[in-house]
Amino acid sequence: EKMDMLHISTGDMLRAVIVSGSELGKKVEAVLAAGELVSDDLMVDLIRERLESDAARGGWLLDGFPRTVAQAEALQELLDDIDQTIHAVVEMTIPDEVILERLTGRLTCRSCGATTHVSKVPAGADSPCPVCGARTLFVRDDDREETIRTRLEVYRHSTDPVVEVLGRHYPLRKVSGHGTPEEVSTRLRSVLG
């Protein structure tokens, strides 16, 4: 928001497909609940549609994509096709224990999509959402400890190699994810200039 870019989160897009209740949504729901990755073809189609939309004209931030080398290669082809490029690739680093502590305590609002942490709201999931006030906080299926561990393994195996592939073609910035959301956000903006 502060940099006026369209935030394209593939996780949010997939959760919207699930809420639609379609056949595709049911398949996607099972994949997410297991902590595995959705097929590259589907992901690339979703991204193509979003990058070609009018909303993306002023610049965009891809969050959660590409997550495999095949997606990274498809993204490069897609960008060539639509005559766009990537100005920076950001790798956020944080120890696994901190990831576990954050995600096992994460609460997501079903109404507005905001996230908070159990340590910040007095009555846990029964609290009102700190952003919109609705009492619709819930724990994502994939924020359970066992699934988080699978997601970390999938990250190491499938996504780590993407950093090197993209880093060969675009400026790579490493940002520490330690600290409060405000601290991380300031750090992020400073590396993006």
What minimum distance in Å lies between the beta carbon of 2 and ligand AMP? 21
Query: Can you tell me the distance from the alpha carbon of 132 to that of 9, in angstroms, rounded to the nearest whole number?
Result: 20
Query: Can you tell me the distance from the alpha carbon of 160 to that of 164, in angstroms, rounded to the nearest whole number?
Result: 8
Determine contact, residues 141/135, Cβ cutoff 8 Å: no
* Residues in contact with ligand AMP, shown as a per-residue x/- string from 126 to 145 under the rule CB under 6 A: ----------------x---
Q: Which is nearer to ligand AMP, 41 or 190 (CB)?
A: 41
Amino acid type, 166:
L
Site for ligand AMP in 47-66 (CB under 6 A): 64-65
Q: Which is nearer to ligand AMP, 60 or 67 (CB)?
A: 67
Q: CB-hemisphere CA count at 13 Å for 42?
A: 13
Helix, strand, or coil here: 127?
Answer: coil
Angle CA 126–132–138, to nearest 5: 35
What minimum distance in Å lies between the beta carbon of 58 and ligand AMP? 23
Compute φ and ψ for 93, nearest 5 degrees.
-115, 140
Q: Which is nearer to ligand AMP, 37 or 129 (CB)?
A: 37
Applying CB under 6 A, among 17, 18, 60, 67 the residue interacting with ligand AMP is 67
For tokens 């993006």, what's the residue?
Answer: 192
Number of residues engaging ligand AMP in binding (CB under 6 A): 16
With both helix axes pointing from N to C terminus, report the angle between 96-104 and 145-154 in degrees, rounded to the nearest 10.
140
For ligand AMP, which stretch binds (CB under 6 A), given 33-41, 73-81, 89-97, 112-120? 33-41
Site for ligand AMP in 156-175 (CB under 6 A): none
Instruction: Please report whether residue 108 would count as binding ligand AMP according to CB under 6 A.
Output: no
C-alpha dihedral over 87, 92, 93, 98, to 10 degrees? Answer: 180
Q: Which is nearer to ligand AMP, 14 or 51 (CB)?
A: 14
Report the interface residues with ligand AMP, using CB under 6 A. 10-11, 14, 31-32, 35-38, 43, 64-65, 67, 71, 142, 151
